[in-house]
C-alpha cells in the first residue's frame, strides 16, 4: 500500500529523526549520545519512561534552525515516499527555540521553508501543531502556548500536548489551551494512551479539544466509546507506536478495529516512525492483515483524516 495517498495527522517532528541523521550531527558537534543507540544503530529504550529520555537526548544535537531545515526535508522526503500527501506535524518549542519567542520564530521559519521546498518537489503538504510537553509542567506549557498564539495562522494551525500523560491533570493546562483557542488555533491532546478512560473524559471536559492523540484506552469504557462516536471526536490512532511501546501485545489485540466498528472516527498515524520501526505503509499493511481491512476502509480513514485536518478549507480541498 506504499503508493496509495495518505493523510497523516499525528507525527512528531523530533520523533521522526532518523538515528543516522542524529548520529551524523552529534559527530559533527562532538556531542556524545552513543548511549541511546543499540548495536544495530537503532534507538534503544525498554519502556515509555526510557523512550521519553532517549527521545529528548536525540534532540540534543539539533541546535540550529539549519538543523531543523535539514531534518524537515529528510522527514518529508521519507513520508512522501510512503504516499503521505498531507502531514500534520507536532512542533515543540521546548526542543527548538527553548520557548524563547524570538528563537522560536527563527526555527519555525526554517521548518516552513523546508516544508515549502518539499511541497514544491514532492507535493507533500505540512501544517504545524505547536505542542507543549506535559511532564515539563504547566508553566512551561504557558510559554509554549504564547509561542503558538504569536505564530498562529494559515501554517501553524493547531495546539496540542504530548509527553507523560500521568504527569499532572488536564485542568492544569486549561489556561494554555484557552489562550491557544482564543488565538484561533484548533486543539488536540494526547490522552488515553497511558491513562484510562477517565483521562480522556477529563481532557475533553477541561481542554475542550476536538481531537485526541491516541485515545485507544477509551475501549475500556464502552459508554465513553459511544459518546466519542456521537460527538464526532476524532482519534489520532498510532497502532505501531502502541504495539512498540507495549500498550497492546500485538496488532490483533489493538482496539482500533473495535473502535472503527463502533462508529468512532479513527485515523491512522505513525507518531515517531524510526523509534517504532514503522512507516505509514507498514501501518496500513499490518492493519490490513490484522483486521482484514480493504481499500474501502482505508479510503474512509483517509477521508476522516482530511475532514478532521486543521488546515484551511482550500488546503483540505486539495487532499480530499
Give the cell for residue 18: 532518523
**Cβ-closest position to Zn ion:** 271
Judged by beta carbon, residue 5 or residue 248, the one nearer ligand ADE is 248
The CB-of-181 to ligand ADE minimum distance in angstroms stands at: 21
Task: Report d(CA 176, CA 212) in Å as an integer.
Answer: 17
Judged by beta carbon, residue 8 or residue 272, the one nearer ligand ADE is 272
163 binds, among ligand ADE, Zn ion, none (CB under 5 to 8 A by kind): ligand ADE
Query: Cell 473495535 maps to which residue?
Result: 258
Task: Report d(CA 305, CA 316) in Å as an integer.
Answer: 10
Judged by beta carbon, residue 26 or residue 94, the one nearer Zn ion is 94
Q: According to the 3-state scheme, what is the secondary structure of the chain?
A: CCCCCEEEEEEECHHHCCHHHHHHHHHHCCCCCHHHECCCCCECCCCHHHHHHHHHHHCCCCCCHHHHHHHHHHHHHHHHHCCEEEEEEEECCCCCCCCCHHHHHHHHHHHHHHHHHHHHHHCCEEEEEEEEEHHHCHHHHHHHHHHHHHCCCCCEEEEEEECCCCCCCHHHHHHHHHHHHHCCCEEEEEECCCCCHHHHHHHHHHHCCCEEEECHHHHHCHHHHHHHHHHCCEEEECHHHHHHCCCCCCCCCCCHHHHHHCCCEEEECCECHHHHCCCHHHHHHHHHHHHCCCHHHHHHHHHHHHHHCCCCHHHHHHHC
Residue from the set 8, 94, 193, 283 that interacts with ligand ADE by CB under 6 A: 193
| Residue 217 contacts ligand ADE per CB under 6 A | no
Judged by beta carbon, residue 83 or residue 239, the one nearer ligand ADE is 239
Judged by beta carbon, residue 118 or residue 162, the one nearer Zn ion is 162
Residue from the set 33, 129, 162, 185 that interacts with ligand ADE by CB under 6 A: 162
The CB-of-117 to Zn ion minimum distance in angstroms stands at: 25
Binding marks (x or -) toward ligand ADE, 46..75, rule CB under 6 A? ------------------------------
Task: Report d(CA 206, CA 62) in Å as an integer.
Answer: 34
193 binds, among ligand ADE, Zn ion, none (CB under 5 to 8 A by kind): ligand ADE
Active-site pick, 193, 230, 289, 314: 193
| Residue 190 contacts ligand ADE per CB under 6 A | yes
Task: Report d(CA 234, CA 260) in Å as an integer.
Answer: 11
Residue from the set 8, 67, 143, 271 that interacts with ligand ADE by CB under 6 A: 271
Q: Contacts with Zn ion in 241-300 (CB under 5 A)?
A: 271
Size of the site for Zn ion (CB under 5 A): 1
Q: Contacts with ligand ADE in 9-48 (CB under 6 A)?
A: 12, 15
Residue from the set 88, 236, 272, 283 that interacts with ligand ADE by CB under 6 A: 272
The answer to whether 87 and 8 have CB atoms below 8 angstroms apart is: yes
Q: Contacts with Zn ion in 95-114 (CB under 5 A)?
A: none
The CB-of-217 to ligand ADE minimum distance in angstroms stands at: 12
| Residue 241 contacts ligand ADE per CB under 6 A | yes
Q: Contacts with ligand ADE in 70-129 (CB under 6 A)?
A: none
Active site residue 8: no
The CB-of-24 to ligand ADE minimum distance in angstroms stands at: 22
Catalytic residues: 193
Chain residues binding ligand ADE by CB under 6 A are 12, 15, 162-163, 190, 193, 241, 271-272
Amino acid at each position: 500500500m506504499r503508493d496509495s495517498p495518505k493523510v497523516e495527522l499525528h507525527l512528531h517532528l523530533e520523533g521522526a529523526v532518523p538515528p543516522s541523521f542524529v548520529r551524523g550531527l552529534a559527530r559533527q558537534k562532538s556531542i556524545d549520545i552513543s548511549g541511546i543507540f543499540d548495536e544495530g544503530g537503532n534507538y534503544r529504550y525498554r519502556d515509555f519512561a526510557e523512550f521519553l529520555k532517549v527521545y529528548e537526548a536525540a534532540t540534543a544535537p539539533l541546535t540550529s534552525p539549519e538543523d531543523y531545515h535539514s531534518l524537515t526535508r529528510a522527514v518529508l522526503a521519507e513520508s512522501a515516499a510512503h504516499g503521505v500527501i498531507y502531514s500534520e506535524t507536532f512542533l515543540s518549542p521546548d526542543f527548538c527555540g527553548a520557548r524563547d519567542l524570538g528563537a522560536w520564530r527563527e526555527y519555525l521559519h526554517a521548518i516552513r521553508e523546508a516544508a515549502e521546498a518539499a511541497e514544491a518537489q514532492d507535493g507533500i503538504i505540512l501544517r504545524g501543531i505547536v505542542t507543549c510537553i506535559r511532564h515539563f509542567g504547566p508553566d512551561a506549557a504557558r510559554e509554549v502556548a504564547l509561542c503558538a498564539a504569536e505564530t498562529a495562522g494559515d501554517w501553524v494551525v493547531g495546539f496540542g500536548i504530548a509527553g507523560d500523560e500521568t504527569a499532572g491533570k488536564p485542568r492544569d493546562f486549561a489556561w494554555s489551551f484557552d489562550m491557544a483557542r482564543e488565538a484561533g488555533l484548533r486543539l488536540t491532546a494526547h490522552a488515553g494512551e497511558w491513562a484510562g478512560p477517565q483521562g480522556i473524559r477529563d481532557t475533553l471536559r477541561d481542554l475542550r479539544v476536538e481531537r485526541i492523540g491516541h485515545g485507544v484506552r477509551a475501549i475500556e469504557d464502552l459508554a465513553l466509546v459511544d459518546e466519542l462516536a456521537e460527538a464526532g471526536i476524532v482519534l489520532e490512532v498510532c497502532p505501531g507506536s502502541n504495539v512498540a511501546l507495549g500498550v497492546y501485545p500485538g496488532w490483533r489485540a489493538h482496539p482500533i478495529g473495535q473502535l472503527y466498528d463502533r462508529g468512532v472516527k479513527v485515523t491512522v498515524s505513525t507518531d515517531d516512525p524510526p523509534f517504532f520501526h514503522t512507516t505509514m505503509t507498514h501501518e496500513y499493511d499490518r492493519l490490513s492483515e490484522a483486521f482484514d481491512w480493504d481499500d474501502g476502509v482505508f479510503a474512509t480513514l483517509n477521508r476522516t483524516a482530511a475532514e478532521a485536518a486543521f488546515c484551511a478549507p482550500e488546503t483540505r480541498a486539495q487532499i480530499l
